[in-house]
Amino acid sequence: MDKLEMIAKAEQLVGKVDDLPTIPAVATQVLQLLDQPEVQIEEVADLMLSDQVMTARVMKMINSPVYKPGHRISSLKRALVYLGLRHIREVALTTSFISAFDEKSGAAGIGTFWEHSFGVGMVSKIIAEKIGYIDLERAYIAGVIHDIGEVFFSNYLRDEFQQVMDGIKDKPVKLVDAEAEHFGTTHCEIGLCMARKWNFPESYCEVIAYHHTPTEATIDPVLCAIVNLADLFYSVRELNYGGWVSFNLYEEPSWQILKSMSPDLVQLDIERFCYELDDAIPHVKNLVTSIFNSQE
């Protein structure tokens, strides 16, 4: 199917919805503040404290096994110091995404969706590190947001989406292909429309649109390839999300893109990489659980 046609179809679907979730204003302000040179942690902390839900989530996240603080951190400012400015961007964006979506219960359990998203974020960061990609946090964020279009299907076209998911359960069919067939568009184009409405930076929009077809990317194909591979590697480690996935690594275009960027990748111990990912998954689940239990 033609990409432009699918984008037009996505625009039409997204346009019909007038209560599309919004990203909390504080999150946008935090991100803008963090982009300024010589920003002070105190300023960021003051701004974040004005959003209690965000503050609570950051505190939960920082005390979760993923960030492994030596002792319990009880003030936001300490949490931010511990994270460092770069990681604040990562935490602020993730927590605000969850705020935007968690009140709606969609077809795919929202917990499953976030587990997948955080999982892909985490694996993206690991791959980015292995190939020497310049901005690890960018890879993480790109991984977390890549499937944002799925939330739209899940929330606004719930019954139809459930049918599509049931139809591919345990079958070697990709969710993205089943969506194209059923809706005439996919979560990639839907996500792109949402990301444009939210004024996301272009490189993130591109990941959302091309994470299944990284060779079509023009702004940052390497970032798209990282997320594509992370998605594949993570998807074969979870059972409740998007069909029965399998892939031949050497035939994946994303693997070719990354190898040309980092020739040492041929030496990578893929088996060990897989086994280490198996070990990391319980941590992702803990992280998601800890964030979702933060609305006390």
Partner 1 sequence: MSISDKDFEQLRDFIYNLCGMYFHSTKKYFLESRLSRRMEATGTKTHMDYYQFLKSPRGAEELKYLMDEITTNETYFFRNVPQLNALETKLLPEIVEAKSRMGFRKLRIWSAGSSSGEEAYTLSMILLEKRATLLKDWIIEIVGTDINETVIAQAKEGVFNAYSVRNIPDLYKRKYIKEDNGKFILSPEVKKFVTFNKLNLYDDSKMIFMKSFDFIFCANVLIYFDTASKSKVVQHFYNNLQPYGYFFVGQSESLHGVNDKFKTVHFPGGFTYKK
Rounded CA gap, 195 and 197, in Å? 5
Q: Residue from 172, 199, 218, 296 that binds partner 1 (CB under 8 A)?
A: 172
* 35 binds partner 1, rule: CB under 8 A: no
DSSP assignment of 196-227 equals HHTT--HHHHHHHHHTT-GGG-SS-HHHHHHH
Q: Which residues contact 99 (CB under 8 A, 6 or more apart)?
A: 24, 27, 53, 54, 57
Identify which of 20, 47, 50, 42 has the alpha carbon closest to the alpha carbon of residue 31.
47
Judged by CB under 8 A, the stretch of 34-42, 62-70, 204-212, 236-244 that binds partner 1 is 236-244
Beta carbon nearer to partner 1, 140 or 233: 233
Answer whether 149's CB lies under 8 Å from 176's CB: no
* 270 lies in the binding site for partner 1 (CB under 8 A): yes
Among residues 49, 236, 261, 265, the one that binds partner 1 under rule CB under 8 A: 236
Name the residue nearer to partner 1 (CB basis): 105 or 240: 240
Locate 158 and state its tokens.
């719930």
| Spatial separation of the C-alpha atoms in residues 186 and 7, rounded to whole Å | 9
Tokens 């939330």, located at residue: 151
Beta strands in 155-211 (DSSP E): none
292 contacts partner 1 (rule: CB under 8 A)? no
Angle separating helix axes 85-101 and 270-292, nearest 10 degrees: 60
Residue closer to partner 1 (CB basis): 67 or 273: 273
Q: From the list 127, 194, 225, 232, which residue makes contact with partner 1 (rule: CB under 8 A)?
A: 232
Among the residue ranges 150-158, 181-189, 210-218, 230-238, the one whose residues contact partner 1 (CB under 8 A): 230-238
Task: Answer yes or no whether residue 239 interacts with partner 1 by CB under 8 A.
Answer: yes
209: CB partners within 8 A, 6+ apart: 188, 189, 191, 192
Question: Binding-site residue total for partner 1 (CB under 8 A)?
Answer: 24
Which residue of 63, 244, 262, 292 would you call a contact of partner 1, by CB under 8 A? 244
- Those residues whose C-beta lies under 8 Å from the C-beta of residue 289, and which sit 6 or more positions away, are 111
CB of 161 vs partner 1, minimal distance in Å: 21
264 binds partner 1 (CB under 8 A): no
User: By the 8 A CB rule, do 206 and 142 touch?
Assistant: no
Residue 253 interacts with partner 1 (CB under 8 A)?
A: no
Of 77-85, 185-193, 207-215, 237-245, which part binds partner 1 (CB under 8 A)?
237-245
Residue 170 sits in the site that holds partner 1 (CB under 8 A): yes
Binding site for partner 1 (CB under 8 A): 170-172, 232-233, 236-237, 239, 244-251, 269-272, 274-275, 278-279
